A and B are shown apart, each in its own frame.
Chain A
Amino acid sequence: DAGITQSPRHKVTETGTPVTLRCHQTENHRYMYWYRQDPGHGLRLIHYSYGVKDTDKGEVSDGYSVSRSKTEDFLLTLESATSSQTSVYFCATIAGGSYEQYFGPGTRLTVT
């Protein structure tokens, strides 16, 4: 693995509550990514970061925000969770010098 951990690994929350997912990496990689994976849709990019405090939107960013205050941590926040955000969320990083992404173990989020 690329030294990536995600927390929590499983979470059940209610509609309308805020949720924050954490991605932590130990390899000092510059680029970090948040994806969601849903049946029939594959992996879709939510947000990415290209350095501390440098973030940008992916293709499915509505309803999500991110922050990166340290190189090793990339946080994904659902300000007010909705049932459509029930999904498996993966964090990824790029090893230096290539576009090869390596994924964390994932967080399964259920919004009831």
Chain B
Amino acid sequence: QKEVEQNSGPLSVPEGAIASLNCTYSDRGSQSFFWYRQYSGKSPELIMSIYSNGDKEDGRFTAQLNKASQYVSLLIRDSQPSDSATYLCAVSYNFNKFYFGSGTKLNVKP
């Protein structure tokens, strides 16, 4: 059983639209949640971290966490072609346990 599940996509949205990326996780003991962006051939870069239920906003990005449903999402407003990448969801239990989803590929069409 995978710890972290993501739809592999691709998710295609037009430029200017809202992209919604979703992630579920299996262990209720998870404490920390992260979204990374990874361009092809590059390393993952941290976009957002979220630790408590609710929404966290940073610029065009909003992370949403619902621990009861074991669900975390990332909304990208006003999507740009430069947002086209693979988005990785990660959860952590402590410093020695990190689990990543296999990623959702996002295509933003001009």
| Chains A and B belong together in one complex | yes
Query: Which residues of A from 41 to 77 have beta carbons under 8 Å from B?
Result: 41-45, 48, 50, 56
What's the least CB distance linking B99 to chain A, in Å? 8
Known contacts: A42-B88, A43-B88. The answer to whether A31 contacts B95 by CB under 8 A is yes
The CA-CA distance from A33 to B98 in the complex, in Å, is 10
Q: Is the CB of B92 within 8 A of A99?
A: yes
Given known pairs A42-B88, A42-B103, A43-B88, the reply for A103 and B98 (CB within 8 Å) is no
Contact A40 B102, CB 8 Å, known A50-B96, A56-B96, A99-B95: yes
Collect the chain B residues with CB atoms within 8 Å of residue A50's CB: 95-96
Q: Which residue of A lies closest to B95 (CB)?
A: A31
Contact mask for chain B residues 37-55; partner A; CB cutoff 8 A; 1 contact, 0 none: 0000011111001000000
- Asked if A84 is at the interface (CB within 8 A of a chain B CB), the reply is no
| Secondary structure type dominating chain B contacts | strand
For window 70-96 of A, CB contacts with B under 8 Å fall at: 90, 94
* A90–B88 touching, CB < 8 Å: no
* CA gap between A105 and B26 in the complex, in Å: 29
Q: Which of B43, B88, B97, B100 has most chain A Cβ within 10 Å?
A: B43
**B34 at the binding interface (Cβ < 8 Å):** yes
The minimal Cβ–Cβ distance linking A84 to chain B, given in whole angstroms, is: 18
Contact with A along B64-80 (1 / 0, CB 8 A): 00000000000000000
A98 touches B44 (CB 8 A): no
Knowing A90-B43, A101-B46, the reply to whether A42 touches B95 (Cβ < 8 A) is no
| Chain A residues near B20 (CB-CB < 8 A) | none
The chain B residue sitting closest to A91, CB to CB, is B43
Name B1-56 residues within 8 Å CB distance of A: 4, 31-32, 34, 42-46, 49
Q: Contact at A106–B43, with CB atoms within 8 Å?
A: yes
Which of A43, A45, A90, A99 gathers most chain B CB within 10 Å?
A99
Known: A41-B102, A48-B96. A102 touches B46 (CB 8 A): yes
- What are 5 A-B pairs with beta-carbon distances under 8 A? A33-B98, A40-B102, A90-B44, A100-B46, A104-B43
